[in-house]
């Protein structure tokens, strides 16, 4: 399975933003947190498909697995997916 570099960078950026916001109950802007979480879930679904995303508890867990798999070579990161 493969994702594009653009998809990887999008997921990485959104996950980083979400993790910097901290815990939902303690974040400064809950609305921005939810919006970022929804965008992250959509980015994961675009890259991996809903069937894959549905196996995780949330967007953060799915993104962590996608990023880890891409960085360890389990998931190929390519310029264009055929």
Q: For residues 82 and 19, what is the distance between their CA atoms, to the nearest angstrom?
A: 32
Its sign, for the CA torsion 23, 25, 29, 35, is: positive
The tens digit of pLDDT for each residue in 30-49 reads 999 999 999 999 999 999 99
Q: Could you tell me the pLDDT band of residue 1, with boundaries at 50, 70 and 90?
A: confident
Chain centroid to CA 56: how far?
Answer: 11
Write down the pTM of the prediction.
0.92
Q: What is the pLDDT of residue 7?
A: 96
Asked if pLDDT for residue 79 goes beyond 80, the answer is yes
Q: What is the pLDDT of residue 82?
A: 66
Q: What is the pLDDT of residue 80?
A: 83
Residue tagged 């979480």 (tokens): 37
Nearest of 53, 67, 51 to residue 9 by alpha carbon? 67
Domain ranges within the chain, ordered by starting residue: 23-82
């Amino acid at each position: 399975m493969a994702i594009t570099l653009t998809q990887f960078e999008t997921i990485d950026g959104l996950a980083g933003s979400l993790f910097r916001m901290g815990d939902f109950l303690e974040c400064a802007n809950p609305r921005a947190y939810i919006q970022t979480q929804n965008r992250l879930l959509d980015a994961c679904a675009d890259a991996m498909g809903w069937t894959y995303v549905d196996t995780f508890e949330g967007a953060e867990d799915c993104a962590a697995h996608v990023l880890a798999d891409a960085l360890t070579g389990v998931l190929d990161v390519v310029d264009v997916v055929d």
